[in-house]
Each structure stands twice: as structure tokens, then as C-alpha cells.
Amino acid sequence: MSNKLLLILGFSFFLSLWSCIPAAAQKQDDRDLKISSALQNAQLPADLSRRVLEQYKQQPDQFIKTVTNITAQDPYLWRLVDKAHGLDAGYEPDDLITLRGGSYLLNRSGLQLRRAAAETLEVMAKAAKADGVTLVVSSCYRSYGYQKQVYERNVQQMGQAAADRESARPGHSQHQLGFAVDFDSIDDSFAQTKQSQWLEKNAGRYGWSLSYPKDMEHVTGYRWESWHYRYVGPELSQFIDTYFDGIQQYALVFLHHYVR
């Protein structure tokens, strides 16, 4: 092969590499913009947004891979359901199963969860029992109609303003997802129990996340509910803890705006 031909081939190879650089740079710029835009639209605290962006830039591929994996799962696992974002009145999961107990106790019969949540609840309860703690389940899936009754009863008993701090309006309850569980007493006394303490330390490992933490009413819209956990899956649970200070609402709002 002549030197001239080698020179031509080498130059062509260089040009092909050079042409890839702008495309790769543009792709990275697009990803950066999408993350920044989602954080901004989520209206997270400035210091938290800054830290999330810094963590993303340290390992951008890992962050994007995690978000991609999460959003490729059942969309109701990461669906934002709060005072501003609701579910259709007719929405009902198609894989609800009636709980029979097992390693946990039931406060009443007829409680239902989606299959993935029910199966993981049993695994988690078995682990808790091995540590000498028995989980007690008091409330799970609620239909739109049932939540309407709960909300209206609370309004009658405590007034509109107080009810809105305690209870979701119909269509805006995580319970309608079939992924939420209220444990035991469903009041503030639960926080002092061994169940609550065990869940605080271990629930995340099984994909369960506390929905309404203490002193976060200005973020979640609801006062502290130490008993209310939502199944989000292990990967999203870890994502919440790693990037969003363990605050479920922050992560779900971010994902909501990221996929829009």
C-alpha cells in the first residue's frame, strides 16, 4: 500500500472520529439540559437541586441509567399522586389480591394490595419478625368511591381545613394506587412503636418509602404520617435516598417533570 493511500485512509479515519465529537457533545448537552429543566420545574429547594446536579455530573451515565430503569417499570410505581396530581375516578389496579396475613397481622379482613406490593410486604414482614417485630396492617387499597366516603366523613368531623391536612380528596390518595399501606394504629402513637422504628431503618431495602415525613407538610401537603408507607420498588427507593434526602415527594416530582 502506497504512502499516499495510507495518508488518505488515516485522514478519513481522523475525520470520522472528529465528526463523532460534536454529536457526543450535543447528546451530553441535551441530557444536562433535561436534568436541569426537570429540577427547575420540580421547584425543589435550591440547595437540593444543586446537590442532585452535582451528583449527576459526577456519574452522569449511572444517573441516567437509574432514571431510565425506573421509568421503564410500571408507571404507577413512580406515578405522582398528591393534591395537584390525581387519578381517574375509574382507575382500579387489575392485579389486586386480598391479603391473608402470614408474617404480618391484619387489623381487618378484606384488605387488598397490588401483587408486587403484597409479595414484598410478606418478605419485609418476615424479616421484621426475625428481628422480633410483628407488622400490623390496617389499611391498603381504597377505591375512588371509598376514599370519597373517608374524606367526606373527615370533613364532617373536623372541618374542611383540618380534613385537608389529614385526608386526601378522592382521586388524590396514594391508596387508590394499591401500593400504599397504613400500619397499626394510624395515629401519632405509631411513631413510638417498635414497628415504626424498624420500618424507618429497614423499609427502604424492600422498596417501601415513607410518604409523609415529619416537618414536611409544606412539601407533601399533609402533616406527618409515620404509619403511611408506599411501595415504590427497591431501585426507586434507593434513588429517593441517594439523591433526594429520603423525601419521596421530591423524587416523584422530579420524575414527573423529567418524563414530560
Catalytic (active-site) positions = 225
Q: Is 208 helix (H, G, I), strand (E, B) or coil?
A: strand
Contact between residue 181 and residue 140 where contact means Cβ atoms under 8 Å apart: yes
Cell 370519597 -> residue = 148
- Cα separation, 95 vs 90, in Å, equals 15
Which residue(s) pair with 132 in the sheet? none
- 78-102: buried (b, 16+ CB within 10 Å) or exposed (e) per residue? bbbbbeeebbeeeeebeebeebeee
Contact between residue 195 and residue 135 where contact means Cβ atoms under 8 Å apart: yes
Q: What is the DSSP letter of 112?
A: E
